[in-house]
Amino acid sequence: MESINKTTEGVNPSPLANLDEWEEDILKRYPDPAQINEDKKAEEFRNYQETEKDGVREFYRLNHLYQTYDFVVEHKADFLKFDRKEMPIWDAFDFLNQLVDDSDPDTDLDQMQHLLQTSEAIRNDGHPDWMVLVGLIHDMGKVLCLFGEPQWAVVGDTFPVGCAFSDKIVYSQFFKENPDFNDERYNTKYGVYTPNCGLDNVHMSWGHDEYVYHMMKNYIPEPGLYMLRYHSFYSQHREHAYNHLMNDHDQEMFKWVNLFNPYDLYSKNPNQKSWEELRPYYEDLVAKYLPATLKF
């Protein structure tokens, strides 16, 4: 960790005004089909030059610069010990709510309300209760920010490390400064992997997706684990850039990832029931699948 810390000295770890700014940028890239203006061509929504913000661009520059194979392996070894905190999930949500940016004029929703919007949309459509739970917890890994992780190591589009970076990843030009870009061990199509080795054998960039997946992998059915681990892997479930690493089982499981993704991006209901009304259902749901306390 010391080498990473020395490298990032003097770097602003939080170029985004708030973590939601990254998700707002995703909506510009992948707008809800139901909301697209028919007079505007689809490719116009991918014009980053007109829509990008300095903070978003800087965020991706840092993310693509520092997310190396060694960085990921080191952070997994550190954070997946889950030795920072132990608490009930409800305390974890209170902890997560500390990420709310009071200076943001565009939202007065805390993180818990954002998660409830996703889970309630899933429940209203009649999906299995474990998928409702995935909606509730899918961003819980953002607590990494409260453990001192910089934004670029918490949110952002995820991608494999240890092999060539795809040009389908947003702002892929910034990978040219990543040390792995010119490292012969990592800069070929397969890198340290083998054809169709399966994503379970692939290291993904470090962030809240990978963290919450490992936290939940003993409690939730496998389709839900795929949703947690790959819900930010846009270069695959939108661009199919890494089919060469996926096996048949991954392809089958990604049907679940694709089912979940619209709920993650487009579930924004300002008229949602109050937490007081929803609480009994979610307390029973959490008790069904999760232990009384979780390690973070």
- The answer to whether the CB of 148 falls within 8 A of the CB of 290 is no
Q: Is 113 exposed, middle or buried (0-12, 13-18, 19+ CB in 10 A)?
A: middle
Give the integer Cα–Cα distance in Å for 182 and 180. 5
Nearest alpha-carbon partner for 141 in 131, 156, 130: 156
For residue 99, is pLDDT > 80?
no
Among 43-47, 122-126, 145-149, 225-229, the minimum mean pLDDT is found in: 43-47
72-81, long-range: CB within 8 Å, 24+ apart, which pairs? Answer: 72/161, 72/203, 72/204, 72/205, 72/206, 73/203, 74/1, 74/4, 75/153, 75/206, 76/203, 76/206, 76/210, 76/214, 78/1, 79/144, 79/147, 79/211, 80/211, 80/214
Q: Mean pLDDT over residues 219-246, rounded? A: 97
For residue 21, is pLDDT > 70?
yes
User: Looking up tokens 């909301």, which residue turns up?
Assistant: 35
Residue 255 CB partners (closer than 8 Å, separation 6+): none
Helix and strand numbers, DSSP H then E, in the chain: 13, 2
Give the integer Cα–Cα distance in Å for 239 and 231. 13
Condensed to tens digits (0 to 9), the pLDDT of residues 174-190 reads 999 999 999 999 999 99
Q: What is the pTM of this model?
A: 0.89
For residue 48, is pLDDT > 90?
no
Give the pLDDT confidence score for residue 268 in this predicted structure: 73
Winning range, highest mean pLDDT, from 21-35, 89-103, 173-187: 173-187
Angle at 99 between CA 98 and CA 101, to 5 degrees: 105
Give the pLDDT confidence score for residue 157 in this predicted structure: 97
Give the integer Cα–Cα distance in Å for 147 and 217. 21
Mean pLDDT score of the chain = 88
Give the pLDDT confidence score for residue 216 in this predicted structure: 98
Give the pLDDT confidence score for residue 12 in this predicted structure: 86
Give the pLDDT confidence score for residue 100 in this predicted structure: 54
Condensed to tens digits (0 to 9), the pLDDT of residues 51-83 reads 457 899 999 999 999 999 999 999 999 999 999
Backbone angles phi, psi at 203, to 5 degrees: -85, 125
